[in-house]
Structure 1
Amino acid sequence: MPFPLAHDDPPGLGPYRLLARLGSGGMGTVYLARSPGGRTLALKTMHARIAATTEFRTRFRLEADAARVIGGRYGAQVVEADPLAATPWMATEYVLGPPLDDAVELAGPLPEASVRALGAALCGALGQLHHSDVVHRDLKPSNIMVTAHGPKVIDFGIARALGDDRLTHTGAAVGTPAFMSPEQATGQEHTPAGDVFALAGVLVFAATGRGPFGDGQPADLLYRVRYSEPDLTGTPAALVPVLSRALAKDPAERPSTAELAAQLHDGGGEFADHLPDAVLAEIGRRASEVWQLVPQRLPAPPDQPATVPSADVPAAGGLSRRGLLMAGAGSVLGVAGAGAGVWAWLGRDQPTPGPATGPGYTKPKPGPSVSALKKKKLDSVWQKQISGPDEDQNPEVPLVAGDQIVMVSDAEARGVDAKSGESRWTFSLSFDERWQVASDGARVYRITREEEREKGGMFPKSVSWFLARVDLATGKAGKNLAPVSDDQHNGLDSRLLAVVDDTAYLAISHGKAKKYERQLPWSVVALDLTNGSRKWTDPLPFQAAESDENHFLSARVVGNRLVLLQQMNDGTVRIVARDLRTGKVAWDKPWKGADRRYVRDPLTADDQHLYLGHGPLRALRLSDGGQAWDTSGTRPGKTYGPPVLKDGVLYAVEEDLGLVAFGTGGGKPRWTEKSWEGKSADHLVRPVIGSEYAYSYSITGTFLRAVGLTSHTTEQLYKTSGKKFTAHEKSRTVIASGPDFLAGFPLR
């Protein structure tokens, strides 16, 4: 549960405002925080007294790296981190759900169906880590958060978010005796098999309410782990042989995560359908708690001044109209990014969970029953709980491919029928492969990985990458169309930027592996998909940096140009246009004032111009990058979000007004919205344009507004928790997407 800020806690770190404390311990403090866009986050920091120690800073950075590896499907998605700051910090999604030990304490031992679904999902999480040669080393119930969509593994070495009693006060996250493997307990190397051992212990705990080796002093526990057989009393009979093998003393006798997952669960059904009612109610209560949070700060002790230290962010000035709207709707916006899917699942017809104590609160009864709750009925044609991209980090989403849309997240790509919302296929992705899937509007392409292993070897001898077309009926990759890696460009890291007319455009790294991606040289490459050859290769200007930030924010082929938004080491954004025939830079312009967090939308262009918002609306000539026009003369001082082009008309949301339509020739306004609701339009959210309506997101009430293209007023309101909207013309559907769900609305 959140606690008030201490008197000396800073008001913010990086761009994030602190709201409350979640926990504090020997290594650091975890805060509840909010991003500039209104997203609720958990922000981990390191205590100043150990921040000067190289060892602890390294461990902090390694934790952030491991959290990025596991990604948002199986862990708390890392939004941003700065391990080099005076106070190192890491911002992750705020996970809506209790830790497993709290869930078992609340609901009692979980039924067999819950344990099996939990175990299979955790096998997927560990498999994601192990695939990247990372092991957790400290898997235990308090490090597993139970959400409505599946468990998330957290805490790779810094403070636990729920208080000191769960911290490793020695400052070394080397494991917890009750869940250590025998080899870890004797100081030997901890391999993926050690994580399997710990997972089996966690599942025994979930099924019985106690660990397989009891409790007691650490020395006693370590002895039992090494020499005693696990106590599986109370474990469902069908699970005993499965977990016994995973708890074998010899690591070689334990199953892999894939084998264990297959023995536990067939993967069918929604995870929430397997959870007891009491756990589901607790998930809802925690979501509600974030909505109701009022930031508080404890007073300073009498002998200390009541001043707050300066933070890494400038002091906030007066609130704009949009800021006031955000403040008023803060409780809604705070959870929209982190937990909208929970509310869609729990249902509008269910009682709102009350506070943890006080009148009207009844503690849920423990028990193994699993009964379906009514699902929330929004004003949508369809809605689905689907793991989606993180709204702060993902580039162009979702992808349109024929009659499907493709959702791409850290962990998977999923093909979804745009008309019905039904999933057609999925395929798994390794860490940070959002840029390894692209669509040309009709077909989907992906970068595939092929390994060569020596017989019996644990790690691959060599790895190669290829470009392949995805079968839209099955999601399987077809034959290799072109090699991504070769002797010169080893493709250690690669980004699929765009695919147009049987040519794929990629960014590919080369040179020996480095600690950070930006310490590698990179090139932009064009691959001919008809014969696998390289049309051209052109290197990016090289300037090493200790960063894994992608070089590119958005990409589009238009006319004879490959237009790229490139983020530089200092965080600034440049617009780079390359000649499609040679790959050489035709022009390169800075985008002054562009915030790299908010300019990841698809680029808007026609054969003559590139159109930009995030300030005045501007048109740049594709030929040389010169400015053709901007709106400073016709609408001085006005700010616009990302524009959309439809039938020769340019549409954008003007801050504090609503939708405005412009002619592309000289940027003169054609009409402006007349609705009073337009003042609440979020100008940072890209609108969608149909034949009768323009659709714009309202920051108050979280509505999608249908504004008549003739009446210029709001004619329809659709309740939504989405923050990204895409037009699927073929099915006449507006696709609303968020990190945990998809919904379809009529496109008219």
Structure 2
Amino acid sequence: MPSPLTHDDPQAFGPYRPIARLGSGGMGTVYLARTAGGRTVALKTMHAGIASDPASRTRFRLETDAARVVGERFGAGVVDADPRAETPWLATEYVIGPPLDEAVQLCGPLPEASVRALGAALCGALGQLHGSDVVHRDLKPSNIMVTAYGPKVIDFGIARAAGDEHLTRVGAAVGTPAFMSPEQASGQDHTSAGDVFALAGVLVFAATGHPPFGHGQAADLLYRVQYAEPDLSGVPAGLVPALGQCLDKNPFRRPTTGWLASHLHDGSGEFADHLPDGLLADIGRRATEVWHITPQRLPAPAGEPGTASTAVPTRWSRRRLLSTGGGAAVAVAAATAGTLTWGGWPGGGEPQPTPGPSNSLLPEKQLDSLWQIQVTDPDNPYFTDDMASLPSQPRVVGDLVVLMAGMNLNGVVAGTGKIVWKSDDVEWTWQTTADAKSILLVTSGDDHSSGLHTSKAKPLALSWIDPVTGAASDPFVQFTDLDYLPLDQALCIADGVLYVVAGRGEYSLSFLASQSWYVAAVDVSTGRRLWTAPLSPRRQDPPRLYVLAAGVVGGRLVTMQEATDGSVHAVARDTRTGTVLWDRELDGVDPDSVRRPVVTDAQHLYVGAGRLRALRLGDGGVAWDSGSERPGRTHGLPALSNGTVYAVEQGLGLVAFDAASGRVKWRERGGGKATKADLGAAPVVGSAYVYSKRGTRLWATGLSSHAPAHSYRTTGDQFLIHEKAGEIIALGGHFLAAFPLR
């Protein structure tokens, strides 16, 4: 995933200008770079300090030669290189496709046909290397790029420049323990037979998702590689004999790459024909994404001199314009570096720059963020002030953060903050919901085709939004008996089913006694409505929500609902029939405070914003209540991770509760800063810290130390984790920003 340049990254290497970082480590850095003519390359460098060692320079030159040997068919073609420069560099083609480890993470273990085609192609790559007396020495999933035309082997020792933290040195050998050959692990000579051993390990990983000798500490892996039998569980039976021979501890008994290729695949068909659809879609997304990357350079840390960067104007290349087709508009960059706004008015036309909420660009905030972009609030001239205050809830969809801003849905690359698409203005009354990989557009309501307002209503309709381009498909189903969609009532998608609140009757911007209201479940793969359940009438007053939050767990649609009298109820429905299983009023809960995703596990619904309570999903009864142990205490919104519920307690700070019993596991130490704790912002939980909002800062509290460790300046009041990007995404104060997740 590309990341911004740092303040001290060089301005250029020869004719190549870096525009983003692709990876960095102790040996060097890999950049995405472009020439003045627009050619995009991957540019690999060696740190100047390491380059002072003549042996390191010689090795860099030899590895550059190896990349040339493998050529463009099986590797990233070498475009240019200067191994004698003060900072040696190598420019290769930028390969369009994910590394094999990311491909398996995205799609799961590959089908046998994919593994066979992959293995045969890699045999060709290694055969070409070995025919020139070159061995790779570090073949592993992250060094194999999967493209639509076949795999490409990269990083001939330069993987160390790409910053692979799993590398270790054993004797004179360098490699990755999980994919080393036994002879390499013991410091002996690694020959072409060692590459065959590593290739078999790679194919085991591709077929199963795990290396043949498991995971763990380097010393344990090195021992197992030398003495333990490989774990071939999950490998298709037809592949076991060939891969078993390649994993023989004795290098002289291993087959050649030619023999292995002939036992894997007959060479028929195109390589893309053997790849899963999800992997092909990811390759297509990457092909589009690379044309949307523009240079971003992080400022120098406080107290350090900054390195002035040369501004690079945004260019709309022919290919980039084509890639945004299908009606998807691309946001316009604002004049301030790192600050973007977007918005607009329905009715078509070219996208125009839209000012921020005060009709001018806001100054860039002095945040501790990896990136920040300015956003306008969701805006509709027909919303009442009450409805306009509804929070836009960002969602994670693949590599993107998707959210409403202005009157449009926007796709933002989590790793860079780059806005890659801005949705069509399809209808005046529309909203979306999403799961981890897809976005559903739900439209209905007043037909404005003949003026600003008529009484003609349009049926509820469902369409897909392409997560790559933001373009909306034609509706795949319409329901003529449902013609009104209240704001923010496309509740959720779960297990391929959309849950939505919709109505029928006279169209109005307010609820009317003559209207009828329902919650419906729709199978989004077929468009078939599974059930429709009636809801109680609403008061005839300015619009309010029926459902404040929703989620599906254990065969139940769990919702937080606002009743006619303004009280908040937790309600569970059977997802098969829509029947209400239980309905519990939540005393002391303000409707506006729970307009966030519900927090559940297999046993409980967890409710904060007052007393922290766990309701049993089976019957809605109270399993535990923080007020029973600490009467009068007020808690904020909860977060759940690994059997622990985290919530901010007013005047104290973070408290961790056992999810099953409600027992307090720990309370934050040294909570002097906790007096500013924000009860309206739910914590988010990483692997080492739990993060909570206090005043203008997001504080990280150690999961082991239970004490505040560091903080980030933020305007946000909503936070979510984008695990793939390793970021905390913050929305609020007219900015979307990303912070490092630790």
* TM-score, reference length from structure 1: 0.49
* TM-score, reference length from structure 2: 0.49
| RCO higher in structure (CA 8 A, sep ≥6) | 1
Task: State which structure, 1 or 2, has the greater radius of gyration over its C-alpha atoms.
Answer: 2
